[in-house]
Each structure stands twice: as structure tokens, then as C-alpha cells.
Structure 1
Amino acid sequence: MSVARSPFPKDQLLCSICQHVFTDPVSTPCGHNFCKNCISEHWDINVPCKCPNCKKRFKRRPVLQVNSLISEIVSRIKESAQQRASSSSEQQAANPREVPCDICTGTKLKALKSCLVCLVSYCETHLQPHLTVSGLKRHQLIDPVENLEGRMCMKHDKLLELFCKDDQTCVCMLCTISDHKQHEVVPLKEECEGRKAELEETEAELQQMIQQRQLKIEEIKQSVKVSKENADREIARGVQVLTRLRDAIERKQAEAIKVITSKHTLIEKQAEGFIKELEQELCELKKKSAELEQLSLSEDHLRLLQNLQSLKAAPPTKDWTEVRVRSPSYEGNMRSASAPLVEMLIIELKKLLPKTELRTAQQSAVDVTLDPDTAHCQLLLSGDGEQVCHPKYGDFEKKLPDNPKRFSTGLCVVGKQVISTGRFYFEVQVKGKTQWVIGVAKESINRKGLLYIDPQNGYWTLGLRKENKYYAPACRLNSKSQPEKVGVFVDYEEGLVLFYDVDAANLIHAFTGCSFTERLLPFFCPSSNQAGKNSAPLIICPVNRTT
């Protein structure tokens, strides 16, 4: 039975105290009906007992009688409502993320609305009185929310519908005439609109941060991928080189052993021939000796005399006085076999040197300029700080204040740019010069007196000498070509300093395994003028990253 079919008007099926459909309806002696719990709680508070509807006063607290008819009607209404709820696709049991109906018993259905007056959330069925009963229609309904009690002012028991900007808190209407009387108060909706604008900005910032981190994740993944590819490539190259070296060593070892063994075999055969001849002669001599001994013991005088001359003659033998079995010289055979391996080892090891491709190195290009405060007083620097040379004596004179940073003896200058982390690359034109030195140096190098340019003293450089020989400290390089432009690459963390012939895109030399513990500076030495033969300047060139 539905509410529409019941013999009672809709209002008569609602408890006048809680304004909900009756629960355990009971009747008072005056004939009015209430929820048993509602009227009991009402009389517990209000003494003497009166009917909430007609205000009739009772001398004694009446004994409440169950209204069987209304109980049956309400029971059928609730049963019918539950049946409709179970058959309706829109009426679903509330999941943990949804607000449940506060009235449902048993399975809690999903709330459709929450009432800010009743502080109760209703499913579709239990919401019907708020949609049909005139007194309940005036209640404010909102989308279902939890903790409706938290929307009430704890001090005044009124709805929190305003916002105090001074105290940054939600307040009710009574708060505005008491504790927040002189404060700036606005409706919650107005404050929320402003806060939503802030949230949108925050959300945009968060989205940007999310995007940045997603890009960083992809960047890191790509770095790992590149690292794996580089590692696999280096392993393959190393295995290939070392395998060739191993095969060459085994081959040269076998060849050397064969040569030595062949020489010894010839000696053995020669010795065997000598021994064989000696043994034959030894056998003949022993035989002759036995015959002589037997003859000397003979009593036959005639036989002794007849055979004496023939037995006295020595058997034919070889003169062994000068015969020698001389051991051949085995020394140098292994060395001769190993000599090609040394050259091969050098060639193959060069292949294993950490080699950053020029194109990759150029991506780390930095604009380098010379620091005039460090230049030797005889050096001439261009106005843009990108060229340096040593003019002829007498053609250029300048008096400069001495300072700890200036080179006093070496014709040197350093760059302004500091290398303390990451990768660093610059290019220098050396065309037309017969002597020069370029590279990097520690910031703390001694700049006074004689310079000892080597890694032990904080220099990692490449240079050209008079005899057109390229050299690095403790190492002379065989360069088939004479580069006109040299690229200098530094990987601070990896401890690498590489020098390139830019035009040929070839690696000239590499310092590896360097342990950098302080800041580095670009280093330049144009060397002396040499009567005009070395007058061309060192020129710092812009880097073409697409070459």
C-alpha cells in the first residue's frame, strides 16, 4: 500500500514532532498520534505532560497505546517503498564513497539530498515528504553531504551560512551580532567563488608541476636508456678489441714458440748425428782394444808377430777436437714476436679511450672570453676578449698593475668562465701559428715565475712545438694533419679533457681518469712572436652545433 492509497491524508502519517513517517506509532488519551520515541523524549523534557498538538495537560504521565491501524499502514508504506527502491535502477545501495540515507533500516540506500534544517540525508523514497508536505518544502535541500552536524554553529545551533574574513572562519547569523559584530562578513557562496578562483590557479600550478615531473621522468628514463645503449656499445667495443688482442697474443705466442722449438729441433738432430758417429767409432775402438788385449795374452808367438802390425794400426776415426754443438740464441725471439703487439696494443687502446663524439661535445658549448686581469703584460687582447697574440718586442708596451691573478713570466691568459660541474666545450682557431698551448687549468695555479704545465701542477693542455710536433704533458702525439681549429671538451664529473680537430672531427688526445677537486678555467698560451713567424692570434670561435 502506498501513501497515495492510504485512508489517511499525508500529513496524518507524519509525526508532528520529527516530521517523518511514523516509527512505532502510539496514541495519547486525547487521540493524537506520535512516534513512541519522539513523545517519550518530549515528555522527559517537558513537565507537566502536555499534548504537543492540542496542549491538553495530563495530571499523570499517560500510558501510551500502540495505534495498530497506523502501524499497519506505515508498515505497508515502508514495505512498498522498499520494494520500489529494490526495483528501481536509480535506487542503489550506497557504496563506501557515497552518502547513505539516514532513515533507511537494513540496507542503506544512496542519499539523494541532505536537509540543512533536519540535518538528515534522504534517499529518493524518504525524501518524498520534503517534496510534498507544505511545512517541509520550506527546508533547504542540498546535494548529499556527510557530517551535517558540522554545518551547524556549535554556540547558537544555527546554520553556518556566512564567512568572517577577519577570523577566516564560517559563522551563523547570530555570530554576526555577537562575537563577529565588527568583522567583515560575506555569504559563503561569495567567499567560495573567490576561493574557487584561487583553487583554479593552484590547480593550474599543480598541473604544471605534474607535467614538469612527468617530463622529468621521461628525461630520466631516456637518460637510463641512453646509458644502457652506451654501456652495451662500450662493452661490445671493449670485448671486440680485447678479443683481437687476445687472438693476436695467442697467435704471436704460437709463432714464437714454433721458431724457438724449430731451432732446438735442429740442434737435437745435429747432436744425434754426432752422437751416432761417435758411438760407431767407439764401437770400433772397443773392438780393436779387445783384439789387442787378446793378442797380448796369446802364447802363439808366430800369430802375435804376424798380426801385430795390422792390429797396431788405429781404425779410421774423425777428429772431434773442433766439433761443438752450439746452442742457438733464443733471446729476442719472444721480444721480436711481442714488438708488433705493443704497437697493436697502443692502437687498440686508443679505440677504447672515452670518446665523446664531436657533435655531442658541441652541444655543451659555452661562450668563452679572455680575462684581461690575468694576461701577461706583453700579450695583446682584442676588445671583445676573443683574441690574444704576442706582438713583436717594442711594438707593444703597456704598464699594468700587478695582481695575484696576472701571469708574470708565462705568456698566458685564462678565461673568465668557470668550470665546476657538468660539461664544458669551446673552440680555438690556431691557424697560422707555429707554437701554442690551450686547454684548462685549476683556478689556483701559481701564476708567478716559471710554469710547469702538466696535470700534476693543475694543467690539462695540448700544444704545438717548433718542430710541428703536437704534445701533451709527458706525451708526444703523432698527428698526421695540422688542425686549424681545436675543440676543448671537459666533463667535470667523469674526469675527462678531450681535444678535437674540429674540421676533421677527429679526437687528437684525451686525458682520462682526472680527479677534479676545484674550479677550472680555460687556459691559453699564444707563445712568443718568433720574429713574426708566430704572430697569428689564438681566436676563440663561435661553435657551430650543427656540424
Structure 2
Amino acid sequence: MAKAPTKDQDSFSCPICLDLLKEPVTIPCGHSYCMSCIQHCWKEDQHPDSVYSCPQCRQAFSPRPALNKSTIIAEMMEKMKNAGLLTAPAAPRGTGEVSCDVCVGTKLQAVKSCLVCLASYCETHLRPHYQSPAFQKHTLVSASTQLQQQICPHHSKLLEAYCRTDRRCVCMLCILDEHKGHEVVSAAKEMGEKQKQLIDTQSKFKQQIKEREKELQELKEAVQSFKLSTQAAVQDSERIFSELIRSIEKTRSEVTQLIRAREKAVVSRAEELLVWLEQEITELRGKDNELEELLHTENHIYTLQVENIDIQFFLHYNRIVYKTGYKHECE
């Protein structure tokens, strides 16, 4: 696991690239930088009257100091690396979004872009724009990768005005050239007018958003109300059908009981009649046998007397059975 940076490690970091010193050099004020970083920083001032300054303390030197590798610092760094006391610092957050155009090696995130320099700067390299009078008239904007879009493609000048005739941004030379006689205003004035239009349009959008949000809320409430009413209807129908089913089951049970009771009563009466009929059949068969014997007897007086009695009994029995109507009990 990499060790956290220490004060000693900070002492061996380049203030320009914020990485460990590579080919360290120490300038007369005592500050140390990477050879390539300080050379790149002083590269733009290579003329006889240039004054070279330290990027940190701003101490000026003239003529330009000789840049020689600091052998002592290099040896100390090598020993500390072998001992594990020096590690390359992690890249800062935001690296790669808009990179600083001055950083050498690891590119730090730019915080501002200059429309005059057409370059983007990290916090360290932006300091001269705040500290040096030479940069006071430069225009700083949020870090952007589209700086070229703010430069006139014909004259390589900053687009500072707006031509209402041609509806395009122009530089000061364009006003004297192809846009001469056109209605031209400053970019700030035109932006003010555009802002008013944008504010008005935004206000309309906000009003539409409020109306749509109100409609959305009303629709949600309607859907919720419909869901609740549907649920209530389902519950009512379930209750009604449950009660109907219970009523049908109860009626079916009662009808079944009535049928069974009627069946029991009829079957019981029929069984009684069956027993009675069987007894009557037995008695009739006995009488039939007696009549058979009378038909074959030779004592005519006895036969006539007995037959007269039996016929009267038979006729009386048939009248009793006919009047009772037991055959209709099972119908």
C-alpha cells in the first residue's frame, strides 16, 4: 500500500507540475523545480530585456539564471525512494476534464480559461493573471475546451460584438470590414436583450410546468379514487355473492330435509300397507282354498250354506278395501 505523502515528500515536489522532481534544479531564490517545468515557464521570455521570476515567490532575475541539475537533491530523492519514503502522488480529482495547457507531465485540471491567451490554466499557473499587471486586461472565463469558438475565424480576434443584421458574433475588425454599416451592438448589450427573452420564455415554461404538474396531480388523484371505488365495488360484489351462496346452500339443505322427511313418512306408511296386504293375501288364499274344497264336495246342503256365508264376507271385505284407498298412499 502506498504511504501517505509526508512533509519531506512535499519538499521534493515540483510546484509547477505537483509531481516528484525530475532532474531537479534550484534557482537563486532557493526554490526547486523540474528542469523541463522551469524551462517551459521561462521559454516565452527569451529576449535580451526579459526579467525572469520565480513562479512561487515572484523574485525577479536578470539575466536568466543558469539551470543546472541539483546533484545533492537528486541523490537524496534516490535514497528516499529506495527506502520507500517517496512515492508518486496520486493524480488530483478532475484531471482529464479540462486540462491545464501549461502543466508539463501530469496535466492538472484547469480552473479558468483566458480568451486573450486562448489557454486554460490550473490554480498554480493562473496566479500570474491575478498578480501581474500585464494580464489585468485579459478576460478569464470558466475552464472550457471550446475557446476557438470565441475567436473570429477571419481575423483571429476575440468576438466582442453582435451583428443584428446578419445575426452573428463579430470581432472589431469585422465591424470595419464586411459588416460595415450594419446594426452592430456589443455582445453584452445583445446578451442583455437575449436574457430578457430567455427570462420571458423561461417564465412561460415554468407556467406550463405548473399547469402540467397540476394536471398530473389531478390525474393521479383520479386514478387513486378510481382504484379505491373499484376495490369497494369488488368487496361489495364478493359480499353479495357470498350471502347469495349461503342463502342458496341453506335453501337447498331445507328442501333436501323436506324431501327426506316426506320420503320417510311415505315409505313408513307404504311398509305398513305392505304388511297389511301380505296378511290379507294370506287370508284370501285360505278362503280360496276353502272355496276350492266346496266346489268338489258332494254335500250340497252344506256347500250351499257355507258358500252363502263366505260370499257375504268377501263382498264386505272388498267394500272396506275400496273405501280405504291405500293404493293411493304411494302415488
Separation (CA, whole Å) in 1 of partners of 2:317 and 2:15: 149
8 A contact 1:94–1:108 mirrored in 2: no
> Which residue in 2 is equivalent to 1:371?
none
Separation (CA, whole Å) in 1 of partners of 2:221 and 2:286: 95
Separation (CA, whole Å) in 2 of partners of 1:163 and 1:192: 9
8 A contact 1:281–1:317 mirrored in 2: no
Q: Deviations over 1:17-53 (max 9, x none)?
A: xxx9533x9xxxxxxx848xx9xxxxxxxxxxxxx84
8 A contact 1:271–1:325 mirrored in 2: no
Aligned to 1:251, the other structure's residue is in SS state helix
Identity over aligned residues, as a percent?
Answer: 29
- Number of aligned pairs? 267
Structure 1 residues without counterparts, runs of 5 or longer:
26-32, 39-51, 55-66, 329-547
TM-score if structure 1 supplies the norm length?
0.41
Q: Trace 1:66-81 onto structure 2 (pairs within 5 A).
A: 70=67, 72=69
Aligned to 2:328, the other structure's residue is in SS state coil
8 A contact 1:111–1:121 mirrored in 2: yes
Letter in 1 for 2:241: L
Q: Shift of residue 134 of structure 1?
A: 5.0
> Which residue in 2 is equivalent to 1:200?
199
Given candidates 311, 317, 328, the residue that maps to 1:325 is 328
Q: Trace 1:363-374 onto structure 2 (pairs within 5 A).
A: none
Distance 1:249 1:225, change over 3 A: same
Separation (CA, whole Å) in 1 of partners of 2:15 and 2:280: 145
Aligned to 1:104, the other structure's residue is in SS state coil
Distance 1:261 1:9, change over 3 A: closer
> Which residue in 1 is equivalent to 2:93?
93
Distance 1:282 1:326, change over 3 A: closer
Distance 1:2 1:196, change over 3 A: same
Distance 1:108 1:34, change over 3 A: closer
Aligned to 1:174, the other structure's residue is in SS state helix
Q: Trace 1:274-423 onto structure 2 (pairs within 5 A).
A: 274-289=273-288, 309=306, 313=310, 317=317, 319=319, 320-322=321-323, 323=325, 324-325=327-328
Letter in 1 for 2:94: A
Q: Shift of residue 120 of structure 1?
A: 0.8
Separation (CA, whole Å) in 1 of partners of 2:106 and 2:226: 58
Separation (CA, whole Å) in 2 of partners of 1:327 and 1:167: 116
8 A contact 2:162–2:185 mirrored in 1: yes
> Which residue in 2 is equivalent to 1:169?
168
Distance 1:318 1:254, change over 3 A: farther
Q: Does 1:6 align with 2:27?
A: yes
Q: Deviations over 1:440-481 (max 9, x none)?
A: xxxxxxxxxxxxxxxxxxxxxxxxxxxxxxxxxxxxxxxxxx
Aligned to 2:242, the other structure's residue is in SS state helix
Q: Trace 1:531-542 onto structure 2 (pairs within 5 A).
A: none
Q: Shift of residue 247 of structure 1?
A: 2.8
Q: Deviations over 1:176-231 (max 9, x none)?
A: 11121121111111111222222222222222222222222221111111111111
Q: Shift of residue 152 of structure 1?
A: 0.7
Distance 1:189 1:232, change over 3 A: same
Letter in 1 for 2:163: C
Separation (CA, whole Å) in 2 of partners of 1:222 and 1:272: 74
> Which residue in 1 is equivalent to 2:190?
191
Q: Does 1:214 align with 2:231?
A: no
Separation (CA, whole Å) in 2 of partners of 1:135 and 1:191: 29
Separation (CA, whole Å) in 2 of partners of 1:256 and 1:204: 77
Distance 1:68 1:290, change over 3 A: farther
Q: Does 1:118 align with 2:121?
A: no
Q: Shift of residue 170 of structure 1?
A: 1.0
> Which residue in 2 is equivalent to 1:154?
153
Separation (CA, whole Å) in 1 of partners of 2:158 and 2:131: 23
Letter in 2 for 1:247: R
Greater radius of gyration (CA): 2
Distance 1:203 1:72, change over 3 A: farther
Aligned to 1:114, the other structure's residue is in SS state strand
Q: Shift of residue 167 of structure 1?
A: 1.8
8 A contact 2:269–2:329 mirrored in 1: no
Aligned to 1:128, the other structure's residue is in SS state helix
8 A contact 2:160–2:172 mirrored in 1: yes
> Which residue in 1 is equivalent to 2:139?
140
Aligned to 1:102, the other structure's residue is in SS state coil
Structure 2 residues without counterparts, runs of 5 or longer:
1-13, 17-25, 49-63, 78-85
Aligned to 2:100, the other structure's residue is in SS state coil
Letter in 2 for 1:93: R
Aligned to 1:22, the other structure's residue is in SS state helix
Separation (CA, whole Å) in 2 of partners of 1:108 and 1:294: 147
Q: Deviations over 1:112-139 (max 9, x none)?
A: 2211122111011112333445544443
8 A contact 2:157–2:171 mirrored in 1: yes
Letter in 1 for 2:39: F
Separation (CA, whole Å) in 2 of partners of 1:158 and 1:117: 9
Separation (CA, whole Å) in 2 of partners of 1:153 and 1:231: 67
8 A contact 1:101–1:110 mirrored in 2: yes
Q: Trace 1:17-28 onto structure 2 (pairs within 5 A).
A: 21-23=38-40
Distance 1:174 1:72, change over 3 A: farther
Q: Shift of residue 94 of structure 1?
A: 1.8
Q: Deviations over 1:377-418 (max 9, x none)?
A: xxxxxxxxxxxxxxxxxxxxxxxxxxxxxxxxxxxxxxxxxx
